[in-house]
């Protein structure tokens, strides 16, 4: 395990190796399954990591002639609102491309580790709404957490997400789950009687 003092260099090494091949990079400091990782979500710890990753990614792709690799940060649903705001402000300060909201939660009594799936939906929507209000229209928000039905997906989009990710439903609903959700989202809702 990388000591916290070396986290920025560790993330930067990974970013430098992956940036030439990536469509986008996400700095994940929100997994509850890695001891001490969530401690890096504080702005004081997160800022040097994000700066180092941005510099490493830019250095790795300099001269390629391609576009700059977008950089996002993934946060936990367990952050208090003030910390969500602080991360959003840091995203704006550093000119990051967006936020992935949210990872798994430790707010459960099922033992150690993160819980995913439908229990994440309410807090995930709250975090996405808060981020969109704080970030404005520029940075991308990828909504994730508890998306099972098309109504869940629409709720994230209405809350301000630009893109969606699904994990738990993909496992339980099968490999065609994403295409079913996508088709349902792109199908126009039926109009009300009399319209």
Distance CA 105, CA 113 (A): 8
Q: How far is CA 114 from the centre of its chain?
A: 15
Tell the residue number behind the tokens 């950089």, with chain if given: 71
Check: CB of residue 59 under 8 Å from CB of residue 142: no
Strand order in the sheet with 71-75: 25-28, 71-75, 98-101, 140-144, 163-165
Residues marked as catalytic: 31
């Amino acid at each position: 395990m990388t000591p916290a003092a070396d986290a920025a260099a560790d993330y930067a090494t990974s970013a430098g190796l992956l940036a030439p091949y990536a469509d986008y990079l996400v700095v994940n400091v929100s997994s509850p399954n890695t001891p001490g990782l969530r401690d890096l979500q504080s702005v004081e710890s997160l800022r040097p990591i994000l700066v180092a990753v941005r510099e490493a990614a830019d250095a790795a792709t300099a001269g390629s002639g391609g576009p700059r690799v977008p950089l996002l940060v993934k946060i936990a649903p367990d952050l208090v609102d003030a910390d969500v705001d602080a991360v959003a402000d840091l995203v704006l300060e550093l000119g990051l491309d967006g936020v992935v909201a949210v990872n798994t939660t430790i707010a459960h009594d099922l033992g150690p580790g993160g819980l995913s799936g439908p229990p994440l939906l309410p807090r995930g929507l709250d975090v996405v709404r808060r981020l969109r209000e704080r970030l404005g229209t520029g940075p991308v928000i990828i909504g994730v957490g508890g998306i099972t039905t098309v109504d869940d997906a629409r709720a994230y989009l209405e809350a301000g997400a630009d893109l969606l990710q699904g994990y738990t439903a993909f496992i339980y609903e099968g490999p065609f789950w994403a295409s079913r959700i996508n088709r349902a989202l792109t199908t126009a809702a039926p109009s009300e009687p009399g319209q």
